[in-house]
Amino acid sequence: MTTEVRIALDAMGGDHAPSEVVKGALLAAAEFAVEIILVGQEDVVRRELAAASATAPRNIDVYDAREIVTMEDTALAPLRRKRNSSVRVCANLVAEGRAHAFVSAGNTGATWTSARAVMGMIEGVSRPALAAVLPSVKGHTLLLDVGANVDAKPNHLREFAVMGHFYAQMLFGIDAPRVGLLSIGEEEGKGNELTKETFRVLKETGLNFIGNAEGRDVYNGNADVVVCDGFIGNVVLKASEALGEFVSTTLRQEMTRTWKHKLGGLLAKSAFIGLKKRMDYSEYGGAPLLGVKGGCIVCHGRSNAKAIKNAVGLARNFAVNKIDEKIMAKVNDLHKREHDSQVLATE
């Protein structure tokens, strides 16, 4: 082994796999101090490696996994019919201690079930949550869940809020991240039964809970962490990606419409490049699945080589900083303090 941190990378997962995944692995191997284990059909992966690079870096290895979980497969496929699939084998490697984390741009449901069932949950958490970093006018906002749980109960959203709070502390360097509950109005009584009950539960956590957050608060910087179920979160995430692409395409069209627009576009080119970079999902790599033992980074299905590279970098940081262990310690500490408070209240 050439490096201490080992990341398993699902070479067969994603719309552009294995080509873009292999290219992303090569970029990551050159940029980060990490060993990458490309998991997939070995002959196919090695062929892609040979096509992309004259000599494979020493910090890239290939692990054979013959089966592929497609986007049409159910979330349970890697646990039942396709136990030798690349995503399942990635989870196996982490569970066995042969990798510290894994990255996949494949079937999100299959990735979620593989991580949860094979790697296991950290103590004190019953459901994992996908946490996405989105740009805001004041920096960034952490949104979770963005797709792991399409249905959730108040206690699940409470867990998401607690994990998001502690992850934001580490990610953004904020002592008391502002936690908001995504709803249709700021007032406590606004929303459906899930948000109303969750509001009551979050008030009792001791977190810096600021109440309901509307959709605009995701981007105006009024909250550092925004909590919702995976159905709503995924809609927000996909709509945000589409809006970013719309703005980028429209600006490009307008900048070339007349000679005046071309001149203005030339003068503002650096600003437009900066805007595009902030709105580009590939800059963020992927979303960590908080709550599972080890690290699991879920990438967009359309991820290109740049996104894969950044996802590997995120997985490396997750492993180096032992984020899962720190979240578990924080969650258990919060549970203990809440229990002690309840005991004191009854005395």
Q: Quick one: which of 1, 18, 24, 13 has its CA closest to 312? A: 24
- Bridge partners of 227, per DSSP, are 144, 181
Q: How many CB atoms lie within 10 A of CB 172?
A: 15
- Is residue 109 within 8 A of residue 101, CB to CB? The reply is no
Residue 332, pLDDT score: 83
Q: Is 137 exposed, middle or buried (0-12, 13-18, 19+ CB in 10 A)?
A: exposed
Q: How many CB atoms lie within 10 A of CB 27?
A: 18
Residue-wise DSSP of 208-235: -EEEEE-TTHHHHSS-SEEE--HHHHHH
- Is residue 130 within 8 A of residue 284, CB to CB? The reply is no
The Cα–Cα gap between 268 and 90 comes to 44
Strands 129-136 and 60-64 turn out to be unpaired
The one-character DSSP state at 39 is E
pLDDT along the chain (347 residues), means of 10: 80 95 96 96 95 86 95 91 95 96 95 95 92 92 94 94 94 94 92 94 92 94 96 93 80 74 64 62 82 95 94 95 90 74 65
Number of residues that make up the chain: 347
